[in-house]
Amino acid sequence: MASAAFFSTCSSANENYLHLTPTHAYAKGFVNNLRTSNLPSIALRNERFVRLRGFVAMRDEGASKVSDDGPRMKIPHVLTVAGSDSGAGAGIQADLKACAARRVYCSTVITAVTAQNTVGVQGVSNVPEDFVAEQLKSVLSDMEVDVVKTGMLPSMGTIKIICKTLREFPVQALVVDPVMVSTSGDVLAGPSILSTFREVLLPMADIITPNLKEAAALLNGMQLETLDDMHSAARLLHNMGPKNVLVKGGDLPDSSDAVDILYDGLNFYELRSPRIRTRNTHGTGCSLASCIAAELAKGYPVLAAVAKRYVETALDYSKEIGIGNGPQGPFDHLLRLTSHSQDCHRQKPFSPSDLFLYAVTDSRMNKRWGRSIADAVKAAIDGGVTIVQLREKDAETKDFLESAKACLKICRSHGVPLLINDRVDVAIACDADGVHVGQCDMPARVVRTLLGPEKIIGVSCKTPEQAQQAWVDGADYIGCGGVYPTKTKENNTAIGLDGLKTVCVASKLPVVAIGGIGVSNARAVMEIGVPNVEGVAVVSALFR
Ligand SMILES: Nc1ncnc2c1ncn2[C@@H]1O[C@H](COP(=O)(O)OP(=O)(O)OP(=O)(O)O)[C@@H](O)[C@H]1O
Ligand SMILES: Cc1ncc(CO)c(N)n1
Ligand SMILES: [Mg+2]
């Protein structure tokens, strides 16, 4: 979608753009058309480059339209047919997030719109049955759907339409979450649907996932209070025709574990995980059913597809999140909301001026002075550095990660970005602000794919060609050098001020100069007369 929006924005420029990659963008020549004066930009050789985070647009002089040939990759696809939850903890919204977390595409047919929050359901408006049919047809006639998952189905007519459409457009598997009552006790689908549910939908299902109340309702009010009751319910529901039955025990009283019973007609499986003490369990059922659908779409068998561990991890991770004031809050499907909530400031967007005084740590020098990396970083920040790169060639991964976390805390509390040299894994693990790579490290294009559009990526470059490639690959800046000879990096020939100038002139990215730079020669570097030299990187000058 981002690319489509970009294309339409650009069309008035009367130029044609082709090939989008998930990297940073410098879209050339569109400053006036885009009217985005608030976007960070750099001026160089009378050209302006506007950064559009998220993708690169590359110009293709000859093309008259966006190319649509080339390989088409099939990706697993779940269609969810469910209700919307305005609070976004359950329903369609939970399904989208769960599928995204499981890396599966999710399309949506909305059966009802609920006004809902963490307190309860304040209102329900059913989508007209004809229009549910129209949505189903739109998706199924065009897209290759692997698995359909149903949630809130508010009327008999809606259920019948779904069954009819699925006969017309068969899919690999049907997951039925027989949503009836929200955890707040509000009715989402009344008893009038029960007979249609049993007679028409259940026999088509590959797996159904009732909670205790729903299993009881489908079994005419049978009492379900123990694990034995759940076994019996699973067997009775299986008799109604679904290939597999998962009776969920999230609401089982007096249970220190969250236990679900899976029955495939032959065997019972008791699926157990520790019960997480949390208020944030709204939408666990929808999410579990979507995960099952997602894993089935990838081709896993049913038992492997019941991703209980995922729900447990997400609940555990989200224990501290406080959204809404009601008794039952949503959890975080993507396991991202709490990682930034340390007592530190948020990461701010990268600005080339961050490169002004760029500190690169050196473990040998720290060892010699008997100080930790974190102490060195603290001292450097107190001394005025504007960005820090951790360069640890000897440390064990575990120790490096711990140091990186400690440094990140210090850097965040001072608003100074922290980059990791070379180790993309460590950067991801500690949620650093970015990575700096050399020519023999992981290519910046791959790093960008791994880190996403927001993180900072720097590349060491010695030649104009390397600088050009860094830009194409979606880097944010280049480190150019060694400008002067240095002992910090062996086998690194110095390119001198002339070499630096040649690369800077060719670079579309901001440059930080590196290599043998200290108090005595920093001014000469900054005054070479090329506007994109934004700063100097220092190692020994600081840490020795
Ligand atoms: N506190 C918890 N800790 C760990 N797992 C849980 C917890 N609560 C529920 N689960 C698990 O989450 C999954 C969903 O079960 P649950 O019984 O909560 O469904 P549900 O009532 O349909 O949920 P909802 O209607 O809120 O979407 C099951 O695998 C269940 O065991
Ligand atoms: C829309 C919708 N679907 C399902 C549930 C069950 O959690 C809910 N609360 N809301
Ligand atoms: Mg449920």
Catalytic site residue from 284, 386, 486, 488: 284
Q: Nearest 10 degrees: CA dihedral of 502, 507, 512, 513?
A: -10
- Cα–Cα dist 361/495, whole Å: 22
| Whole-number Cα distances in Å, 205 to 25, 26, 505, 513 | 46, 49, 64, 63
Helix (H, G, I), strand (E, B) or coil at 507: coil
Residue 67 has a pLDDT of 52
Active-site position among 149, 248, 462, 508: 248
Query: Which DSSP symbol is given to 127?
Result: P
Listed in sequence order, the residues at least 6 apart from 86 whose beta carbon sits closer than 8 Å to its beta carbon are: 113, 114, 115, 116, 117
- In whole angstroms, what is the distance from residue 75 CA to residue 81 CA? 19
Q: What is the pLDDT of residue 399?
A: 93
* Continuous segment of H or E residues that includes residue 399: helix 397-414
What is each CA distance from 119 to 279, 281, 423, in whole angstroms?
A: 12, 13, 45
**Phi, psi dihedrals of residue 42, rounded to the nearest 5°:** -125, 145
Distance (angstroms) between ligand 2 centre and the Cα of 76 equals 24
Are 385 and 357 in contact, with CB atoms under 8 Å apart? yes
Architecture of domain 77-317: 3-Layer(aba) Sandwich (3.40)
Active site residue 248: yes
Q: Is residue 514 classed exposed, middle or buried when 0-12, 13-18 and 19+ CB atoms within 10 A define those classes?
A: buried
**352-543 sits in which CATH class?**
alpha beta
- The full set of domain ranges for the chain reads 2-59, 77-317, 352-543
Q: Which atom of ligand 2 is nearest to the CA of 182?
A: 9
Residues in CB range of 214: below 8 A, 6 or more apart: 178, 179, 180, 181
Question: Would you tell me how many other CB atoms lie within 10 Å of the CB of residue 346?
Answer: 8
Phi, psi of 379 (to 5 degrees): -65, -40
Active site residue 165: no
The single-letter DSSP state of residue 299 is T
- Give the Å distances, CA to CA, from 212 to 49, 235, 248: 59, 14, 6
Cβ burial, residue 287 (10 Å; 0-12/13-18/19+)? buried
Tell whether ligand 2 has an atom less than 6 A from the beta carbon of residue 94.
no
Ligand 2 site-directed mutation target among 92, 109, 113, 114, most atoms within 8 Å of CB:
114
Choosing from 152, 175, 211, 284 the residue with most ligand 1 atoms within 8 A of its CB, the one to mutate for a pocket test is: 284
pLDDT of residue 370: 77
- Ligand 2 atom, smallest distance to 181 CA: 6
| Cα 212 to ligand 2 centroid, rounded to whole Å | 15
Ligand 2 centre to CA of 477 (Å) is: 46
Report the distance separating Cα 246 and Cα 143, nearest Å. Answer: 29
Q: 250 in the Ramachandran plot: left (φ > 0), alpha (ψ -120 to 50) or beta?
A: alpha
Q: Phi first, then psi: give them for residue 365, nearest 5 degrees.
A: -65, -40
User: Which amino acid is residue 233, in one-letter code?
Assistant: A
* pLDDT score recorded for residue 339: 55
Look at the pTM and tell me if it is higher than 0.80.
no
Residues, the chain, total?
A: 544
CA-derived radius of gyration, the chain: 28
Instruction: Put residue 448 in one of left, alpha, beta given phi > 0 → left and psi -120 to 50 → alpha.
Output: alpha
Of 285, 434, 515, 535, which residue is the catalytic one? Answer: 285
pLDDT of residue 41: 34
Residue pLDDT, tens place only, 420-429: 999 999 999 9
Report CA-CA distances (Å) from 493 to 36, 232, 489, 490, 520.
Answer: 41, 76, 9, 9, 20
Q: Are 22 and 449 in contact (CB under 8 A)?
A: yes
Q: Looking at this predicted complex, what is its ipTM?
A: 0.95
Ligand 1 centroid to 279 CA: how many Å? 12
Taking the C-alpha atoms of residue 47 and residue 30, their distance in angstroms, rounded to an integer, is: 10
Task: Catalytic residue, from 281, 486, 488, 502: name it.
Answer: 281
Are 166 and 148 in contact by the 8 Å Cβ rule? The answer is yes
| Nearest by Cα to 299 from 72, 143, 75 | 75
Q: What are phi and psi of 198, to 5 degrees?
A: -65, -45
**Closest ligand 1 atom to Cα of 282:** 26
Point out the residues of the chain with pLDDT beneath 50.
1-66, 340-345
Task: Give the H/E segment covering residue 156.
Answer: helix 156-168
pLDDT tens, 305-333? 998 889 999 999 899 899 999 999 999 99
Question: Is residue 285 annotated as part of the catalytic site, yes or no?
Answer: yes
Nearest CA to 285 out of 191, 214, 217, 203 is that of 214
Q: Are 483 and 514 in contact (CB under 8 A)?
A: yes
Ligand 2 center from residue 335 Cα (angstroms): 21
The H or E element that residue 388 is part of is strand 387-390
227: helix, coil or strand?
A: helix
For 248, list phi and psi in degrees, rounded to 5. Answer: -90, 135
Confidence at residue 4, expressed as pLDDT on a 0 to 100 scale = 35
Ligand 2 atom nearest to 152, measured from its CA: 3
Pocket of ligand 1 (CB under 6 A): 90, 183, 211, 248-251, 258, 260, 273, 275-276, 278, 281-286, 288, 308, 311-312, 315
CA angle 42, 45, 48 (to 5 degrees): 40
Q: Nearest-CA neighbor of 528 among 487, 480, 491, 488?
A: 480
Active site residue 449: no
CB atoms within 10 A of CB 109: 26
Q: How far apart are CA 89 and CA 100, in angstroms?
A: 14
- Out of 286, 291, 411, 430, pick the active-site residue: 286
